[in-house]
Amino acid sequence: MARSATVTPADEAEAVAAGGLPGRLHAHVWSNGQLSDFDRLDERFRDAWASEDAIVWVDLESPTAELLAELAQSLELHPLIVEDIAERNQRAKIEATGEVLHIVMFALLYEGELVPAELDIVLGRRFLLTAHPPEFQPTETGHFRRSGVAPFLAKGPDYVLWAVVDGLVDGYFPVFDKLGDEIDELQEDVLGRPSRWLIERLLQVRKDLLTIRHAINPQREIFNQLTNREMVLVKPDRVIYFRDVYDHLIRLTDELDSYREIVGTTLDAYLSTVNNNLSEVMKRLTAATVVLAGVGALAGIFGMSEAGLALDFAEAPGFWVVTVAILVIGGAGLLYFRRIGWL
């Protein structure tokens, strides 16, 4: 089942009660060839940010309104951007507001159920801001796990942006692999043992694929703009990196369409199998009804008191004749229906 990864005020209260820290901040500042890390917007951070050559990446986890307001003052963010980040539940998009770009993308997490996690990104001339729920951590994606933050931050905020979005899109592939494996299992179960659980799971997988489509398709436009429009904040030699991410999204979209077609075909096969099974049951019931009706009619007629007089049978031989006739008619009916495959 797809569910939103948006953190509500109730979630924040629960996190506080459990000892968690909503509104966590991780700031990385590259200045004078050195990397400095901060976990709060204190004087040390402001002094580092004040340096003209400073490049900053601020990563927010479940940001609170107070933290966003403080950060907006430090980075001079437009109120509309702050409002969008605070409200969450945005669609995937790219917008230029003033001298910054606001990008919204979705990470996809899959552990038995699909979890879309919204990632807000703000790219400025000297900074990159990311805001996300706890389920997704940009700093734990492939590029940063291997090399750390410093090599990317040293090349500018647009290069950090590429590392973040490339890691996010690369995370789609394991999700697709898991869904592909589940679809293969469902196909086998359809032919082997169709059940009510199977139809429920097929419908859920189809819903998950639709959720993925709604997340991925708009993101293609994001990278289409990053690679085809002149973006002042993206250096020309960085465009090829974003084009590579765009190619990955095209590939994923094609794979997604293939999965949706397979699930649709599997669903049709399931319904066909259920109908065939129902038809077999109806055949058996019809055969049993015909046999029992014939036997019942014979027993009913010759069970009447007038039957013996009509056939001029004595009681004992008449009983056995009728009994044999019932067995013969019943057996003949069973053999006939078995021969035509109804039993």
CA angle centred on 276, ends 274 and 279, rounded to 5°: 110
CA angle centred on 304, ends 299 and 307, rounded to 5°: 95
Separation CA 144–CA 311 (nearest Å): 99
Would you kindly state where each structural domain of the chain is located, as residue ranges?
1-152, 279-339
pLDDT in tens, 101-155: 999 999 998 777 788 899 999 999 999 999 999 989 998 888 888 888 999 999 9
Helix, strand, or coil here: 21?
Answer: coil
Alpha-helical runs (H) found in 149-195? 150-153, 157-170, 172-192
Residue 181, amino acid = D
- Phi, psi (rounded to 5 degrees) for 44: -60, -45
DSSP bridge partners of 60: 25, 131
Contact 202, 274 (CB under 8 A): no
- Band the pLDDT of 7: cuts 50, 70, 90: very low
CATH topology of domain 1-152: Beta Polymerase; domain 2 (3.30.460)
As given in the structure block, the two tokens for residue 258 are 């293939």
Please report, for residues 48, 58, 147, 194, the alpha-carbon distance to residue 32 in angstroms, rounded to integers and kept in the order given.
10, 18, 19, 65
pLDDT in tens, 191-229: 777 677 788 888 888 889 998 998 899 999 999 898 887
pTM of the predicted model as reported, rounded to 2 decimal places: 0.75
As given in the structure block, the two tokens for residue 275 are 């109908």
Separation CA 186–CA 183 (nearest Å): 5
Residue 273, amino acid = T
Please report, for residues 43, 101, 131, 238, the alpha-carbon distance to residue 40 in angstroms, rounded to integers and kept in the order given.
9, 24, 15, 31
Judge whether residue 158 has pLDDT over 90: yes
CA angle centred on 186, ends 182 and 187, rounded to 5°: 120
Helix-helix angle 172-192:239-302, to 10 degrees? 20
pLDDT in tens, 16-56: 343 345 678 999 999 988 999 998 888 898 888 888 889 99
